Structure 1
Amino acid sequence: MHFKFVHAADLHLDTPFRGIAAHGPLLTRFQESTFRALARIVDLCLRERVTFLLLAGDLFEVKDRSVRARLVLRRELERLHVAGIEAFIVHGNHDPLSGDTGTLGLPSSVKVFGPDWEEAEVRREGRRLCRVQGISYPDVEVREDLSSRFRRTGEGFSVGLLHANLGGAEGHANYAPCTPAGLGARGLDYWALGHVHTRGELMLPGGGLAVYPGNPQGRHVLETGERGCVLVEVEDGGTRRRFVPVDTVRWHRVEVPLTGVATLDGLMGTLSEAVDAACAQELDGHAVRVVLTGRGPLHRELARPGALSQLEEGLRAKLAAGHPPVLLESLRDSSRPELDWDALTAEGGFARTLLEEARALEEDPGALTRLWEEEALGSLGQKLKRLGVDVLETPRKEWVSRASLLGVEALHEEDGA
Structure 2
Amino acid sequence: MRFSFVHAADLHLDTPFRGVPVDSGLLGAFQQATFRAFSRIVDLCLRERVAFLLLAGDLFDMKDRSVRARLALRRELERLHVAGIQTFIVHGNHDPLSGDTGTLGLPESVKVFGAGWEEAEVRREGRLVCRVQGISYPDAEVRENLSARFGRTAPDFTVGLLHANLGGVEGHANYAPCTLEDLAARGLDYWALGHVHTRAEYPLPGGAVAVYPGNPQGRHVNETGERGCVLVEVEDGRTRRRFVPVDTVRWHRLDVPLTGLTSLDALVAALLERVDTECSAELEGHALRLTLTERGPLHRELARPDALAQLEADVREQLARRHPPVLLESLRDASRPALDLEAVRLAGGFSGTLLAEAEALAADPEALTALWAEEEDLRVLSQRLRRLGVDALDPPRPEWVEEAGARVVEELHEEEAG
TM-score category, normalised to shorter length: over 0.9
Q: 1:24, CA displacement in angstroms?
A: 5.5
Segments of structure 2 that go 5 or more residues without pairing to the other structure are none
Q: Deviations over 1:13-69 (max 9, x none)?
A: 000000234535411101110000000001111111111100000000011111110
Paired residue for 1:317? 317
Question: Which residue is equivalent to 2:33?
Answer: 33
Q: Which runs of 4+ in 1 moved over 6 A?
A: none
Q: CA deviation at 1:6?
A: 0.6
Deviation at 1:388, TM superposition (A): 4.8
Residue 399 of structure 1: aligned partner: 400
Change (3 A) 1:148 1:338: same
Counterpart Cα distance in 1 of 2:371 and 2:416: 29
Pairwise mapping of residues 76-91 of structure 1 onto structure 2 (< 5 A)? 76-91=76-91
Q: Which runs of 5+ in 1 are unaligned?
A: none
Moved more, 366-375 or 53-62: 366-375
Q: Which residue of 2 aligns with 1:290?
A: 290
Q: Which secondary structure does the structure 1 equivalent of 2:122 belong to?
A: strand
- 1:203 aligns with 203
Output the TM-score relative to the length of structure 1.
Answer: 0.96
In 2, Cα distance between the equivalents of 1:375 and 1:134? 55
1:189 maps to: 189
Q: Aligned ranges for residues 294-309 of structure 1 at < 5 Å?
A: 294-309=294-309
1:160 alignment partner AA: G
Residue 165 (structure 2) pairs with residue 132 (structure 1): no
* Aligned position for 1:414: 415
Q: 2:205 aligns to what SS in structure 1?
A: coil
Q: How does 1:89-238 map to 2 (within 5 A)?
A: 89-238=89-238
Which letter does structure 1 place at the counterpart of 2:51? Answer: T
Between 1:301-310 and 1:341-350, the stretch displaced more is 341-350
Count of aligned pairs between the two proteins: 417
Q: What CA distance in whole angstroms lies between the structure 2 residues aligned with 1:337 and 1:322? A: 32
| Range 17-26 or range 133-142, more displaced | 17-26
AA aligned opposite 1:246: V
Q: CA RMSD in A?
A: 1.6
Tell me the CA shift for residue 385 of structure 1: 6.0
Q: Does the aligned pair in 2 maintain the 1:52–1:88 contact within 8 Å?
A: yes
Instruction: Supply the AA of the counterpart residue of 2:296.
Output: G
Deviation by residue 1:307-342 (Cα, 9 ceiling, x = unmatched): 001000000000010011011111111110111223
In the alignment, the residues of structure 2 paired with residue 348 and residue 285 of structure 1 have an alpha-carbon distance, to the nearest angstrom, of 53
Question: How far apart are residue 381 of structure 1 and its match?
Answer: 4.1
Residue of structure 2 in register with 1:357 after alignment = 357
Supply the distance in 1 between the matched residues of 2:382 and 2:289 (Cα, whole angstroms).
Answer: 38
Cα 1:388–1:11 change in 2 (3 A) is closer
Which amino acid counterpart does residue 253 of structure 1 have in structure 2? R
8 Å CA contact retained: 1:217, 1:228? yes
- 1:266-286 CA-partner distances (Å, limit 9, x unpaired): 110110000010003411101
1: CA distance between counterparts of 2:191 and 2:231? 14
- The change in CA–CA distance for 1:368 and 1:382 in structure 2 (over 3 A counts) is closer
- 1:383-416, Cα deviation, whole Å (9 max, x unpaired): 7369758463432211110100100001011111
Partner SS, residue 101 of structure 2:
coil
Aligned residue identity for 1:409 = E
Instruction: Give the match's secondary structure for 2:54.
Output: strand
* 1:183-226 CA distance string (max 9 Å, x none): 11111111111011111111112431111111000011111111
> Structure 2 CA distance, aligned partners of 1:378 and 1:278?
41
**Structure 2 SS opposite 1:29:** helix
Q: What SS does the corresponding residue of 1:332 show, helix, strand or coil? A: strand
Q: Secondary structure at the match of 1:165?
A: coil
Tell me, yes or no, if the aligned pair for 2:24 and 2:320 is still in contact at 8 Å.
Answer: no
> 2:374 and 2:320 mapped to 1: Cα distance?
54
Q: Would the aligned equivalents of 1:217 and 1:248 in 2 still touch at CA under 8 Å? A: yes
Residue identity opposite 1:141 in structure 2 = E
8 Å Cα contact 2:165-2:174 kept in structure 1? yes
1:130-175 per-position Cα deviation (integer Å, ceiling 9, x unaligned): 1111000000111111011111111211111000111111211111
Aligned to 1:328: 328
Q: What letter matches 1:407 in structure 2?
A: V
Which moves more between the two structures, 356-365 or 259-268? 356-365
Please say if residues 361 and 367 of structure 1, whose CA atoms lie closer than 8 Å, have aligned partners that are also in contact. Answer: yes
Taking a change above 3 Å as real, the CA distance of residues 375 and 42 of structure 1, as seen in their structure-2 partners, is: closer
* 1:250 correspondence with 2:250: yes
User: 1:239, CA displacement in angstroms?
Assistant: 1.3
Work out the CA distance in 2 between the residues paired with 1:15 and 1:224: 16
Distance (whole Å) between structure 1 residues aligned to residue 36 and residue 5 of structure 2 = 20
Q: Matched residue of 1:369: which SS?
A: helix
Deviates more, 1:180-189 or 1:18-27: 18-27
Question: Equivalent residue for 2:56?
Answer: 56
Give per-residue Cα distances to partners, 1:354-400, cap 9 Å, x unaligned. 11211221222222222222253466347736975846343221111
Paired position in structure 1 for 2:260:
260
What TM-score, normalized to structure 2?
0.96
Does structure 2 retain, via aligned residues, the 8 Å contact 1:181–1:205? Answer: no
Check conservation: 1:185, 1:206, Cα contact below 8 A: no
